[in-house]
Amino acid sequence: MADESEHHEHHPLQAFEADVAGDASGARGTIDIAVAEADSGKDGLERTMGPVNLTAIGVAAVVGAGIFVVTGHAAAVDAGPAVIVSFVIAGVVATLAAVCYSELASMIPLSGSTYSYAYSAMGTFVAWVIGWDLLVEYLFGAANVANGWSGYFTNLLAEVGVEVPNALRYAPVSDGGAPTGIMNLPAMCLVAFVTFILYMGSKESARATTLFVGVKLVTLAVFVGFGVFSLTWGNYTPFIPPPSGGHFGWGGIFVAAGTVFYSYISFDAVCTAAQEAKNPRRTVPIGVMGSLGIATVLYVIVGFVLVGLVSYTALNVSDPLSSALEAAGLGWVGTIVDIGAVIGLAASVTALLFSQTRILMRMSEDGMLPKRFSVVSKTRKVPEFTILLCGLACIVMTGLLPLAILTELISIGTLLAFMIVAAAVIVLRKTRPDLKRPFKVPGGPTIPIISILASLVIMLSLPWETWLRLFIWLAIGLVIYFLYSKSRADAVIVEREKRQREARSPEAS
- pLDDT (tens digit, 9 = 90+) per residue, 222-270? 899 999 998 999 999 899 999 887 788 888 888 888 777 767 766 777 8
* Residue with the larger pLDDT of the pair 367 and 259: 367
| Tens digit of each residue's pLDDT (9 = 90 or more) over 290-336 | 888 888 888 889 889 999 999 998 888 767 888 888 888 888 888 88
| Region 6-33 average pLDDT | 44
| Burial class (CB within 10 angstroms; exposed 0-12, middle 13-18, buried 19+) of 237 | exposed
**Is 482 within a domain?**
no
Distance CA 125, CA 122 (A): 8
| Region 436-442 average pLDDT | 86
pLDDT at residue 176, as a whole number: 54
- Count of domains forming the chain: 1
When pLDDT is cut at 50, 70 and 90, the band that residue 18 belongs to is: very low
**Is 172 within a domain?**
no
Residue pair 196/181 in contact (Cβ under 8 Å)? The answer is no
**Strand, helix or coil for residue 109:** coil
| Tens digit of each residue's pLDDT (9 = 90 or more) over 127-178 | 898 889 888 778 888 888 888 788 778 878 888 888 888 888 777 776 555 6
**Is 16 within a domain?**
no
**Is 177 within a domain?**
no
Nearest to 457 by CA among 243, 244, 257, 242: 257
All residues at 6 or more sequence positions from 492 whose CB lies less than 8 Å from its CB, including other chains: 4, 366, 367
Distance CA 216, CA 227 (A): 16
Nearest to 258 by CA among 458, 83, 97: 458
**Is 176 within a domain?**
no
User: Based on C-alpha coordinates, what's the Rg of the chain?
Assistant: 23
Distance CA 270, CA 290 (A): 10
Distance CA 352, CA 139 (A): 7
Q: How far is CA 482 from CA 106, 359, 471, 485, in A?
A: 32, 20, 16, 6
| Tens digit of each residue's pLDDT (9 = 90 or more) over 462-496 | 778 778 888 888 999 999 999 999 999 888 888 87
- Residue 292 sits in a domain whose CATH number is 1.20.1740.10
| Region 183-193 average pLDDT | 90
Q: Beta partners for 49?
A: 277
Asked if residue 40 has pLDDT above 90, the reply is no
**Is 494 within a domain?**
no
**Strand, helix or coil for residue 239:** coil
- In this prediction the pTM is 0.74
When pLDDT is cut at 50, 70 and 90, the band that residue 14 belongs to is: very low
**Is 171 within a domain?**
no
**Is 165 within a domain?**
no
Residue 204 structural domain? 53-145+189-468
For residue 312, the Cα-to-chain-centroid distance in whole angstroms is 28
| Tens digit of each residue's pLDDT (9 = 90 or more) over 379-421 | 777 888 999 999 999 998 887 776 555 565 677 887 888 888 8
When pLDDT is cut at 50, 70 and 90, the band that residue 52 belongs to is: confident
| Region 203-227 average pLDDT | 80
Residue type, 403: L
Asked if residue 92 has pLDDT above 80, the reply is yes
- Axis-axis angle for helices 331-365, 202-227 (nearest 10): 150
Distance CA 82, CA 236 (A): 8
All residues at 6 or more sequence positions from 73 whose CB lies less than 8 Å from its CB, including other chains: 259, 315, 316, 320
Most confident stretch, 25-29, 164-168, 220-224, 278-282: 220-224
- Axis-axis angle for helices 280-309, 202-227 (nearest 10): 30
What totals of helices (H) and strands (E) does the chain contain, helices first?
21, 0
When pLDDT is cut at 50, 70 and 90, the band that residue 23 belongs to is: very low
For residue 209, the Cα-to-chain-centroid distance in whole angstroms is 15
Distance CA 417, CA 262 (A): 13
